[in-house]
A and B are shown apart, each in its own frame.
Chain A
Amino acid sequence: MSECLLKAEHIQISFGNVHALKDVSLEIVPGEIHCLAGENGCGKSTLIKIISGVHQRNGGTIEFDRKKLEKITPIDAINMGIQVIYQDFSLFPNLTVAENLALNSELASGKKTISWKNVRKIAEEAIKKINMDIDLDEKVSRLSVAQKQMVAISRALMFNAKLIIMDEPTTALTKKEVDALFKIILKLKEQGIAILFISHKLNEVFEISDRFTIFRNGEMVATGSTGELDDKKFTYYMTGREFADKTFIPEKVTDTPIFELRNLSLEGSFENISLSLRGGEILGITGLLDSGRTELALSMFGLKPATSGEIIRNGKPVKITNPREAIASKIGYVPEDRLSEGLFLQRSIGDNIIISEIDSLKKKNGQFDLKKRDEEVDRWVKEFEIKTKNPENPATTLSGGNQQRIVLAKWLACNPDVLILNGPTVGVDIGSKHDIHAILQRLAQKGLGVIIISDDLPEVIQNCSRLLVIKEGSIVAEYDTQQVKEQMIIDAMM
């Protein structure tokens, strides 16, 4: 193996009594694409922060570009050629593309004033490096996620970066955009720039990276070339557990559909969607990010009322124009973004669980039945094994998996007949992901009708009995998951 660009060895760091990183090492050679994977809280972001100078390590050595590094600040790291692109891109939405690109170097120059000519020159050079075609005078807030990412990448390249660290860069991108991003990454690789790619999506790791390193609980558990890795090993390294994946086969299915859509349309998003769901069944809906799948979910739950078509429950048409009507029709919805749509992060676990069923927790005189509330909270905490000492603690104190269980509990507390889940395991670690799948399968066996909307193909294939593919606002294919191959679905989606 050639000379290392980055050689971090025996890195340790602790916060208070918590050893966030116990003894981890990471080696990156110039021009390689290295994938760093691990579950939430495994320490991968902490390591990035150490490398980029945000945190100071307690022990271990770091060598970058053959120089030993002692204490470094973020500015030092940037000057040496280390650039981090965070998930939020750290851009200024209210400033123009040009200014976002040039602000760093204008600041670094130490001048007190700004020359707009200079800003433009810097920005033009920056976008030339990745051949990006973009209006420099556009405000960043008006760009798409992919465009913002490109701006962040071109900004990173302006500092003669030798190592670019990308923190889960594909999260909010469409397939097309991911392909475009990968092309750029490969181009950077040709120029000799090393990329540290952080991801927990297996297929991406295989597709793009040369080598991988996996962390678990602050320790390095595996490193090697991607060729040696397979599905099973990857999961095992990530979680330390082996999972016997149970494919879902519905047992008791109701004779008649409990939930149907007839020619449901939402202007500009989807058209003439018809589907039917029986109790005890898990129906999957998959499609690309902009296929209309999220809008369909929102329409079924009344958050974006459909402009035409019918929603039918147990054979009778129902009117669903807001979430309350959906709840009244015994439909529950686990939203796409747990943090901004599913949970009141600052509020207690208990309040989060009972909020949607709150109107049924009243005494006869209309008073809030506090005893019943506490009973409900205890019941769901127990039922879903939510790991907390006190359900009155805020939801932020929980891990992603436990938080998702709260959201599930919230809806199940309303006794729904139909549960719609949009990306139920996004950002949930693999262990909890399997647990959540098990819960969903168990619920379906008890007779609940479940709809899972997800672009995680293994997830839908494993957990759903039937699968619909939505493309550009229409359903283009329907499969029996027992017989479908992943590639067939991808072909239908694209």
Chain B
Amino acid sequence: MNKKLKSTFKSNEIYIFLIIIALGILVQIRSGQFFTGNNMVDLLSAMIVPGMFAVAEFLAIIAGGIDVSFPALASLSAYASTRILLDQNYDGNVILAFVIAMAIGALLGAVNGFLIGYLNLNAMIVTLGTSSVFQGFMQGALRAKQLSVIPSGMKEFGTNSFITATNKTNNLTSILPYTFIILLIVCAVMFFILRYTIFGRGIYAIGGNPVSAHTVGFNVKRTKFFMYIIIGMIAAAGGICRVCMMQQMHPTNMLGMEMNIIAGVVLGGVALTGGAGTLIGCILGTFLIILVQNSMILLGVPTTWSNVFVGIVIVVGVALSAYQSIRTEKTKKKLVKEAA
């Protein structure tokens, strides 16, 4: 037990968690509004879409790759499926929207997966290219414009409250839409896949040592291929959630999210070199960035400063973890010496 406790304190996750708590207390002291129901609900609700994207990015990074195409992929899938439903005057359940979007997402993910997995091309360049293609296809071929009306099923799904919280002091009410459940499902399913399936362990194994993964008997190409399909499906689901929550489809406003998502995932202790990191860390890192972005007002800082603070968090966060890894390397050597 003691050993377990020790290893917990060595992990990156606990530090991120402590920083989040510290930040929360700071905001609480300044404003008294942090640990209120509606603020919590607001934060969780802000976490839904980035959280899903982060899980998708997490997969790519764990396998030693990277994906910068998911915002374009999500936009294209969400746009196409919303348009299809609108054109059909569909007014039924939201599930169909998810099914169509995720099918498109899977298809687009398969393009990435084929190029990265089967042709073994550099993930960064491939996704950079496909990102351009997806975006161009959406705006060029589909002539995507803002859709200010979305199917009623999606509208309901985005507004119906799962949890409602009212702040007694200022009577502000915040709702947590049902899309939050989608995030929970994504996290739970991915946790299970990564922890308890051969496929999931394969993703870790490939990130740790691709050559050995092959010799041990993993089908490296196929694993990568299916992984990018899953990434595509998660991103597409995230896209639909975003459309539902915003009550409109804006084709370009998800673009550019990739960098902050990557930063969040890495802040959570996921190594860009692949193989190392946990789903919890990934979520915590993303949450930290969301927290900074959303706590500006409570801290009395003008929202114009939000980028500055996010920048500081990224720079300081990654610098600290880089510094820490240099140090552990040194202490590790010392330990080995002492043992010998």
Contacts and interface: CB of A to CB of B under 8 A. Distances in A.
Given A112-B198, A114-B197, A290-B337, A90 B212 contact: yes
Contacts of B218: 107
A368 B13 CA distance: 50
Contacts of B96: none
B141 interface: no
B332 interface: yes
Given A92-B275, A95-B204, A103-B201, A108 B209 contact: no
A103 B209 CA distance: 13
Contacts, number: 65
Interface string B199-225: 101001101110111011110000000
Contacts of B334: 268
Contacts of A104: 216-217
Interface string B102-139: 00000000000000000000000000000000000000
Interface string B274-286: 0110000000000
B207 A90 contact: no
Contacts of B205: 92, 95, 103
B204 A92 contact: yes
A287 to B, nearest CB: 13
A250 to B, nearest CB: 35
A267 B33 CA distance: 51
B217 A92 contact: no
A91 B210 CA distance: 10
Interface in A322-371: none
Interface string A86-97: 001011111100
Nearest to B209: A92
B196 interface: yes
A203 interface: no
Contacts of B7: 137
Nearest to B336: A144
A2 interface: no
Nearest to A140: B208
B1 interface: no
A142 B199 contact: no
B340 interface: yes
Contacts of B211: 90
B337 A268 contact: yes
A114 B217 CA distance: 15
Interface residues of B, number: 27
A106 interface: yes
A106 B212 contact: no
B230 to A, nearest CB: 15
Given A104-B217, A114-B198, A268-B337, A94 B212 contact: no
Given A94-B204, A94-B275, A290-B337, A106 B198 contact: yes
A134 interface: no
B208 A114 contact: no
A108 B218 CA distance: 10
Contacts of A487: none
B201 A290 contact: no
A128 interface: no
A75 B201 CA distance: 20
B140 to A, nearest CB: 39
A394 interface: no
Interface string B173-211: 000000000000000000000011111010011011101
A32 interface: no
A290 B340 CA distance: 8
Given A95-B208, A114-B197, A142-B332, A90 B337 contact: no
Contact of A113 (B198, B207, B217, B337): B198
Contacts of B215: 74, 90
Residue in B197, B205, B211, B334 with the greatest tally of chain A CB atoms within 10 Å: B205
A93 B275 contact: yes
A88 B215 CA distance: 12
Interface in A90-134: 90-95, 99, 103-104, 106-108, 111-114, 116
Contacts of B198: 106-107, 111-114
Contacts of A114: 195-198, 201
Contacts of B213: 92
6 contacts: A74-B215, A88-B212, A92-B205, A94-B276, A107-B218, A112-B199
Question: Which 10 residue pairs of A and B lie closest in terms of their CB atoms, listed nearest first?
Answer: A94-B275, A94-B208, A92-B208, A90-B212, A107-B217, A94-B276, A92-B209, A290-B340, A113-B197, A113-B196
Given A94-B275, A103-B205, 14 more contacts: A75-B217, A90-B215, A92-B213, A92-B275, A94-B204, A95-B204, A104-B216, A106-B198, A111-B198, A114-B196, A114-B198, A142-B332, A144-B336, A174-B340
